[in-house]
Copies of this chain bind each other. A is one copy, B any other.
Amino acid sequence: MLRLFAALLTTLPALAQAEDLVTAFTLDNGMEAVVIEDHRAPAVVHMVWYRSGSADEPPGSSGVAHFLEHLLFKQTENLGPGELSATVAANGGSDNAFTSYDYTAYFQRIAADRLELVMSMEADRMENLLLVEDDIATERDVILEERNQRTETSPGALFQEQLRAAQYLNHRYGLPVIGWRHEMEALDMDDAQTFYDTFYAPNNAVLIVAGDVDPAEVQRLAETYYGVIPANPDIPERFRPEEPPQRAERRVIFEDPRVAQPYLARTYLAPERDPGDQEAAAALTVLAELLGGSNFTSVLNDKLQFEEQIAVYTTAYYSGVSLDDSTFGMVVVPSEGVALDEAEAKLDEALAEFLEDGVNSEQLERIKMQLRAGQIYERDSVQSAARRYGAALTSGLTVEDVQAWPDILQAVTEDDVIAAASALFRPEASVTGWLRAPETDQEVIQ
């Protein structure tokens, strides 16, 4: 099955450039593949994405998806410990992997003529991983140290962890991808092996090859290396406990003596991009840019930094690439001497004003232009295109959805943004967090 997707961004003549030249096919064993041609440099990015991330972990085993990711760099029945990465490096390439809520992905970037080499090794570890107790113990220490470095030593990271836990009442998005420390400490061979046996199979994987390649040749290689791996007929349905109605505004006050700069965070439960139904997510994407995008004319920047001068930094963020309900977030870092409750009141004022005043049409046009430009500049990196498709296809979206996204973003109207914002800003679906140092003469009781 071979399909071709090619579209032209005709609405932006000055920056006009071919859309991704994408070929998609599916192997007989169910493995999906996407080839993104880019012949500007004789290099290739080869990725395998598994439709299993931290939100697919069994209860009590948080962190096992990421733990297994580490273990895939150890041995297989055919490759010695670390041999895959060493071989990639010896051939002038680089490799790595990452785990998120909805996926785990492995990739190599290497000269285009070495594609077969990396594909043969990636296919090998899809089927022939060899777990040994020594590696389990070593890598468990490594991920614990990773948690120390990234989370335990960072009040901001711990704060974000608590915010997510408060945002989700039922869904595993409320748990950290890296895992709760006490559960990570208990991860063992059996946990890793079970996760591997459950999810690592061609019919749960997406191959992404981007770069200086011929799609027909990629398909031939994929059939040779991945096509021979049997499908796992028992891949579980991708079932996650969904959120109940969120009925009560939540607040989280995180105090840590290490906090030098207090700040305020607000998140709302938000819809995600769904296949064939991306309009609400597109409006929220534009809303995040309008409120707190990196340009200096965002609403929060304008109102809180320039006009009121109560904040030194503001931002808003949202990503719709998510299998289940996502979050929309804002951060306000108050100016010296401005209390968090004052900053919060000003944030709420600013949001209320925004809803009342509506969208500035010039600003909306500017943001759409920036989004288009960003999409085009992004094409300089084959890797980011590969990630875009890989993340989408493991988060419930299709190649068609990815292709349609730029036009859907461009079609967002002022009314769409206000409607999306009105639906979003429900106090009962929100979490407001304060991160600060404890007062010096703090009492025992709060």
Chain A interface residues toward B at CB < 8 A: 59-60, 62, 158-159, 162, 165-166, 169-170, 172, 174-175, 180-183, 239-242, 244-245, 247-255, 348, 351-352, 355, 422, 425, 427-428, 430, 433, 443-446
Contacts and interface: CB of A to CB of B under 8 A. Distances in A.
B445 A182 contact: no
Contacts of A175: 170
A248 B159 contact: yes
A62 B159 CA distance: 28
B255 A445 contact: no
A239 B352 contact: no
15 contacts: A59-B172, A59-B240, A59-B241, A62-B241, A158-B247, A162-B169, A162-B247, A162-B250, A166-B250, A181-B245, A182-B242, A183-B241, A249-B252, A249-B253, A352-B445
Contacts of A446: 249, 348, 425, 427, 430
Contacts of A428: 254-255
A151 to B, nearest CB: 11
A444 to B, nearest CB: 6
A142 to B, nearest CB: 20
Contact of A444 (B169, B183, B422): B422
Contacts of A445: 348, 351-352, 355, 425, 427
Contacts of A165: 169-170
A114 B169 CA distance: 46
A31 to B, nearest CB: 27
A396 to B, nearest CB: 17
A162 B167 CA distance: 11
Q: Please name the 8 residue pairs, one residue from A and one from B, whose CB atoms are nearest each other, closest first.
A: A427-B446, A251-B251, A248-B254, A180-B244, A162-B248, A60-B241, A165-B169, A249-B253
